Amino acid sequence: MEIPYTVEARPDTGLYNAKFGIWLFLASEVMLFGALFSSLILLRTGAESWPNAQEILNIPLATLNTMVLIGSSVTMVMSWASLKLGRFDRYRLWMGLTILCALGFMVIKAIEYNSKFGHHLYPSTNNFLAIYFTMTGLHALHVIGGLIVNGYLWGPGAKMWKKEPERFTNRVEVAGLYWHFVDLVWIFLFPTLYLL
Amino acid sequence: MSSVNPVLEKQAVQKQVKVYLIVFGALAVLTLVTVLASYLDVTIGPAIAIALAIASVKGSLVALVFMHLSHEQKAIYWLLLLTAIFFLVLMILPSGTVANGTAIG
């Protein structure tokens, strides 16, 4: 059975199905992270005292990680643009860089977590660290999810380019929408957890 | 199949590539501005306003340019409008709880 609307747009939505599907998924993700941001507000406004994040967390390292993730967003969109221009070799390069950036982000995050544990700072230490580890941990899980999908599209999944180039380009676009969302969440996590 | 002229589409993508690089530069600069602004000697209220304003500009750039929301189908806009309404409710809920004096101490 052939899957409908993988390339051509559905008449009612004006979109191919996977694109509408990923946006529905991202809407549910907004609510997931929204619930955690809401919890952060509740915990912080209700607390008698709140730790100074800048004294506990490593701001230069987190700033570097923000740059890495922003960089990965631009390499991701460049990989999609390369396919649109018919340059599969460039796609491989840009997607490879996206994967490297994601790995770099995870390494930096691991260094950060390791440093906290080394100083006996755990999620159970206080409410700030509990919400910090929950939110950054959930975000890191999303980065790992993106890494797996992007790794597949860079490696075995790229075979589709030869037979169905438009469908493959759409797959990369959908993976890109997810990846940009992961970047978007970090853009708000960074100041709220590290700088305020 | 797509009804867009492939030559015109390629030209449009080539133009977009330049925009992507400009946006990348803007995001990098705004990240540094966010960090520098956090060292300003202001109370928590203005500090939150400044940080969230910069984050909103950065988020808008990502959504409008990288996620192509500047030229998307109506179905997506309606979906996001609904999401934004529910998201706002989520953000306002804890404020009501605090106002009633029942927040976690």
Task: Note whether B34 and B51 are within 8 A (CB).
Answer: yes
Nearest-10 Cα torsion for B57, B60, B61, B67: 160
Which of B2, B44, B83 has the CB atom closest to A30's CB atom? B83
Tokens of B23: 């946006």
Q: Give how far A13 is from chain B: nearest CA, Å.
A: 6
The 10s digit of each residue's pLDDT in A97-136 is 999 999 999 999 999 999 999 999 999 999 999 999 999 9
Task: Note whether B80 and A27 are within 8 A (CB).
Answer: yes
Q: Where would I find the H helices in B1-105?
A: 6-37, 44-61, 74-99
- Indicate if ipTM > 0.90: yes
Question: Which has the higher per-residue pLDDT, B59 or B44?
Answer: B59
pLDDT (average), residues A6-18: 94
pTM (2 decimals)? 0.94
pLDDT above 90: percentage of residues in chain A: 94
Question: Given an 8 Å threshold on Cβ–Cβ distance, is A34 in contact with B91?
Answer: yes
Give the separation between CA A4 and CA B97, rounded to whole angstroms.
47
* Cα-based distances in Å from A7 to A167, B13, B77, B85: 5, 18, 21, 31
Give the separation between CA A78 and CA B25, rounded to whole angstroms.
14
Question: Which has the higher per-residue pLDDT, B38 or B2?
Answer: B38
Could you tell me which of A184, A189, A180 has the C-alpha nearest to residue A98?
A180
The 10s digit of each residue's pLDDT in A173-187 is 999 999 999 999 999
Which of A20, A46, A183 has the CB atom closest to B62's CB atom? A183
Residues constituting chain B: 105
Q: Give how far B82 is from chain A: nearest CA, Å.
A: 9
Q: Give how far A187 is from chain B: nearest CA, Å.
A: 6
| A89 pLDDT tier (thresholds 50, 70, 90) | very high
Which of A31, A78, A191 has the CB atom closest to B34's CB atom? A191
